[in-house]
Amino acid sequence: MKKILRIGTRDSQLAVWQATFVKNELAKHGIVSELVLIKSDGDIDLVTPLYEIGVQGVFTKTLDAALLSNKIDIAVHSMKDVPTQLAQGIQQAAVLKRANFKDILVLHPDIDKRNNRFGIRFIEDITIGSKTIKENDWTIRLREDISNPGKPEKICIATSSVRRIAQWKNRFPNSIIENLRGNVNTRLKKLKESEWHGAIFAAAGLERINLRPENSIELDWMLPAPAQGAIMIVCRENDIDSKNKTVLLNDETTAICTKLERDFLRTLMGGCSTPISALAEIKKGKVNFKCNILSLDGKEKAETSFGGYLINNALDLGVTAANYILENGGRKIAKKIRNGGI
């Protein structure tokens, strides 16, 4: 009788979708598996902002404990949530092919019916450089609304990500930012019931479970979190059988790109509670890398980019980029973040 591989996952709709996807992919290789649902600390407290919880590992440590106590054989994570230093006794088994890595702004579903005056200027500002904006009913109504007299109201956007907050405030310093926690369904519900103009989500999360609203805009100017859009599978270090089974799902290109991004994050100071962004892409056999670090208030930014590196010459590019940033304004920003933004 074949051993059934136990797949540990958080119990949110997105997490279950990701684990089910892994289960189905394993089945294509004749590997029988089952899901084991586990609630994480990050799913229990949906009020406290992530930056106050101490977000490093908040969505992964419960699954780590289940792995180490042999209650599950592998765990499936959104890779951007995984600390760059895995828990002792746990190893990366596979990284699946990356989905959409971008952040998106989901506008309030009734925004065109509200008495607002941010209209056309706001839409144009957030979509500079975007290839995804389409002229449709809601953008037309917003354009018409700006012709009406009245003082523009302050833009109010919701997110709990310090990275998104910093990049947004760097571009729109006068915005109001509201805390938004919960799984994607909860956050969409909170947005609908709010007076906010919109909320920022990871595109991949909404697209995977077919919840991306029509009135969403890809923020092409916003660099993603390291490893955003990728799924990681981990197992115990001594579990050769589980490693051999799951490595069949590994996508080498995604594994290389996410390694560079996480190397950058780790070298800078890194956890996902810091405004650090990185994106590596491989096109025609060459690596391009963009990255930045911002102060918590978004007023200071250090950034750089590298391009055209052959893969074999780019394996240390994340560390190289981090050291360059540290020597060119990043060290001062990182020190300020460690001191609580002061």
Strand partners, 164: none
User: Which amino acid, residue 323?
Assistant: N
Q: Which residue in 259, 207, 212, 199 sits closest to 229, CA to CA?
A: 207
Number of helices (H) and strands (E) in the chain: give both, helices first.
Answer: 13, 13
Q: What stretch of H or E contains 71?
A: none
Catalytic residue among 43, 64, 73, 81: 81
Tokens 């055209």 correspond to what residue?
A: 308
The token duo for 9 is 């996952």
- Residues composing the chain: 342
Q: Exposed, middle or buried by CB within 10 Å (0-12, 13-18, 19+), for 281? A: middle
The token duo for 293 is 């670090």
Residue 110 annotated among the catalytic residues of the structure: no
Provide the edge-to-edge strand list for the sheet that holds 103-107: 176-178, 156-158, 198-202, 103-107, 216-218
Q: Exposed, middle or buried by CB within 10 Å (0-12, 13-18, 19+), for 87? A: middle
Q: Which residue in 193, 195, 196, 201 sits closest to 217, CA to CA?
A: 201
What are the backbone dihedrals phi and psi of residue 279, each rounded to the nearest 5 degrees, phi first? Answer: -145, 120
Which residues are identified as catalytic? 81
